[in-house]
Chain A
Amino acid sequence: MINISNLTKTFGDFKAVDGLSLHIKPGEIFGFLGPNGAGKTTTVKILSGIMRPSSGSVSIAGFDVDKQPEDAKRNLAYIPDEPFVYPKLTAWEFLRFIGDIYRVPETEQKKRIPELFDMFDLTDVSDGLLEGYSHGMRQKLLIASVLLRKPKAILFDEPTVGLDPKSIRRFKNLLGEMAKGGAAVFMCTHILDMAEKLCSEVGIIFEGKLIARGTVQDVKAAAHSGSDSSLEDVFLKLTEKQSHD
């Protein structure tokens, strides 16, 4: 569903992403881990079509993001770490806007939107302008917009930043449901505990290169860590080893 092939992105002499190759299948939740500045957000921006690769290719649901951007984006949802929304629209209008752009039938929009507001505790504020929303409320609205359009691939960049504990719990459940529904989920996160519990596979990127990939158990084995060690221990061990090398 999400296919990354030999992806490289350079800024001048600096290689932000270096020969990255990944394949994320439908129903899979892939955790993309790495320290700050490792190349996670750059990868996500290329996947979402905001940035162009220097070399290599990326495809979503079989559509090349660079060559068939509209078709690829129609099958993709991207939730950035900073949830920017139009301040002078209400939540209702924002979801209608997203629904119209993604060609969700009107009857379905009208049925689903109130349900989504209920799900994310936004019903009482759904007629208020988004300029009055907190960071967490805007994040919830963006997640609701993903559920409205049911994409085949979902990119999350630090999805739980700003969410309250109840919403985080709900988000984790939804993530599982979305994957069960056949979506390929690509999630950048620093919350290793969440990655360990939710992700079917994880990848660790360091200085633009993928240094480990597989199930959590595979990664632990590759790092020669015991099965009782946490993903956090493995992550620190691998990244520190790379920086010494």
Chain B
Amino acid sequence: MIKLLILNKLRCAYNDMNSVRGWELVKSAALGFAGLCLLIVMYFGFHKVLKYLEEVQLIGPILSWKLTGMLLLMMFAMIIVSSIIISMTTLYYSFDLKFLFSCPLSRRTVFMDKAADTVIFSSWTLVVAVLPFVIALQQVKGLSLGFTASYLFLMIPFVMLAAAAGIFFSLLVMYAFPSSRTRDITWVLGSLSVAFVYVMFRFAEPEKLLHPDSMQVIAQYIQYLQAPTAPYFPSWWVTKAMIAFSAGKWAVFAGYSGLLIACSAIVYCFMAWVCDFFYMRGFNGAQGSPRFKGGRGKFLEQKLISFFPGLAAQLSLYWKDRLMVLRDAKYWSQIILILALVSVYLFSIKQLPLDTPSVKNFICFLNITSAGFVVAAIGLRFTFPAISMEGKCWHLMRSLPVKIEAIMLEKLLVALPSAMLIGVVLIVLSNHILEADIFVSVLSTVSILFITIGVTAMGIGFGAIFPDFNVENIHKLESSYGGFFYMVASMAYLGLIVGIEAWPVHVHYLGGFAGPMTRWRLFGITSCTIGFLLVNFLAVWIPWKIGLKNLQMRE
């Protein structure tokens, strides 16, 4: 039966790929090309590092294998975290679970089918991401293509073992706490772990690997750590098997490969044996939903209605949306990752090798674009989908006595405070770190305030121009052509803003506005101010009006 289910998945995947036409095909090809370029860039980066390590006298070859062992250990840990998060969905909340349970299939078959999904979804990106490293290692060590093929072969039991750890963890946790809240808590903890690894990796300053002076320290450290990297973990077995393959020691290679395959087989047989006991209790518990005591008292927004009766609709929609966001663990996961992104952004600003105040001020000015881009990227995730996320309830919304402008305005008010907070924090702290002067500090802060309003309103506007109320996965909205146009428009808008502000900043660097106000200077300042306000107004007004019209006409 499991064979039938897997064949069905393959058929669905084939049909899915085969049905890509027109714009979807162009978009997929563009994304595929961008991904390939990224892999090529990664390959050259890894090649440079590995070549350098290989050339370190005496310990060079050990260093590259040490790095391989560490990388595989990190990959092993990431697959475990990823499989915990993914298995919480695949095992307990997949859309087809109710159908599968209603079919004459054993629980074990359903469980193993979903376990297979978890293994694939949690590992394929990492296997592909490590591939440039392995190819670079093959090139640097002068090995045959068989080395890369051996990596792909070893990855099968390796990712199965790593994902098994995550799946088993989910089984145990859901067995002990059979509730949908367990899934939410696990998601948030999983996101915290990913954010922690990301921040720690950046704070470890990996760019120093390319500086020979700091490499001495790393070399000493690795020389000191002559012992294997986590010898009882499968990552070390894969490393040993790859070392054996490179040295042509086939017996050792077969031994470690056999160990990986045998362990993987034992673990999955064990899981298939115990899943009957663990799985159903967790699955039954997951079908319930948490309880809340809301509704009997008054929310803050409901209290405000008596003061602002004209905003009754917006305030009612606001508390509804606030509760929806606060109760959705997926949003919390995203917020954690955004906080990690902001801290890494600020750390990167701090690490910039800038010496003179003028260069620092110039970077502060350019920073308006980067911060604006971050706000737009976050807007693509949260603001642009806001209208579409009403989903099937859009019919309910349309039947309410509420104007569409009011709905759009409310969505803007939900998104704006957080967008503004992120934008201002990025700019103010960057200015502080870079010791920007008053002129640039004020200019960049005022600019980011306008930009957050502009970009957020554009997010709502474009979301209204390209709504999709049938979408089930929010990521499909981000990668839709509406999302693409939103990002292109945001980039154009940011470019115009920075272009308009370039002149006053230029004058400031040439001696400031301290001298007498000439007619030309007054004209320049007035033109820039009008241009700035006009661009902001049009950026808000055009998509907003088109989006509003589109929603009004939509049936």
Indicate, yes or no, whether A interacts with B.
yes
Contact A90:B296 (CB < 8 A) given known A85-B393, A101-B402, A103-B312: no
Interface stretch, picked from B11-19, B60-68, B323-331, is B323-331
Interface centre among B291, B320, B401 (most CB of A within 10 A): B401
List the 3 shortest-distance A-B pairs measured between CB atoms, nearest first: A92-B295, A132-B289, A84-B392
Interface pair A92/B296, CB less than 8 Å apart? yes
Interface pair B553/A50, CB less than 8 Å apart? no
B227 at the A/B interface (Cβ < 8 Å)?
Answer: no
Query: Interface size class for chain A?
Result: 35 or more
Interface pair A132/B287, CB less than 8 Å apart? yes
Partner of A93, one of B288, B289, B295, B317: B295
Interface pair B393/A90, CB less than 8 Å apart? no
Q: Chain A 61-80 against B: per-residue CB contact (8 Å), 1 yes, 0 no?
A: 00000000111111010101
B391 at the A/B interface (Cβ < 8 Å)?
Answer: yes
**C-alpha spacing A51/B554, complex, angstroms:** 8
A34 at the A/B interface (Cβ < 8 Å)?
Answer: no
A27 at the A/B interface (Cβ < 8 Å)?
Answer: no
**Shortest CB distance B43–A (Å):** 44
Contact A88:B294 (CB < 8 A) given known A50-B398, A101-B401, A128-B289: no
B270 at the A/B interface (Cβ < 8 Å)?
Answer: no
Q: Chain A 35-65 against B: per-residue CB contact (8 Å), 1 yes, 0 no?
A: 0000000000100111110000000000000
Residues of B within 8 A of A132 (CB): 287-289
Interface pair A52/B555, CB less than 8 Å apart? yes
A179 at the A/B interface (Cβ < 8 Å)?
Answer: no
Interface pair A82/B401, CB less than 8 Å apart? no
A-B contact pairs, 27 of them (CB 8 A): A50-B555, A51-B555, A52-B555, A69-B401, A70-B402, A70-B403, A80-B395, A80-B396, A84-B392, A84-B393, A86-B324, A89-B323, A89-B324, A92-B294, A93-B292, A93-B295, A97-B316, A97-B320, A100-B305, A100-B312, A100-B316, A101-B312, A101-B316, A101-B401, A106-B302, A127-B293, A128-B288
Interface pair A101/B292, CB less than 8 Å apart? no
**C-alpha spacing A91/B392, complex, angstroms:** 18
**Shortest CB distance A124–B (Å):** 10
Residues of A that sit less than 8 Å from B by CB: 45, 48-52, 69-74, 76, 78, 80, 82, 84-86, 88-93, 95-97, 100-103, 106, 110, 113, 127-129, 131-132
Residues of B within 8 A of A86 (CB): 320, 324, 393
Interface pair A50/B293, CB less than 8 Å apart? no
Known contacts A101-B316, A103-B312; 18 further A-B pairs (Cβ under 8 A): A48-B398, A49-B398, A50-B398, A51-B555, A70-B401, A70-B403, A73-B400, A85-B396, A91-B295, A97-B316, A100-B312, A100-B315, A102-B401, A110-B296, A127-B291, A128-B288, A128-B290, A131-B289
**C-alpha spacing A100/B289, complex, angstroms:** 25
Interface pair B555/A128, CB less than 8 Å apart? no
Interface pair B398/A93, CB less than 8 Å apart? no
Residues of B within 8 A of A101 (CB): 312-313, 316-317, 400-402
Interface centre among A69, A70, A100 (most CB of B within 10 A): A100
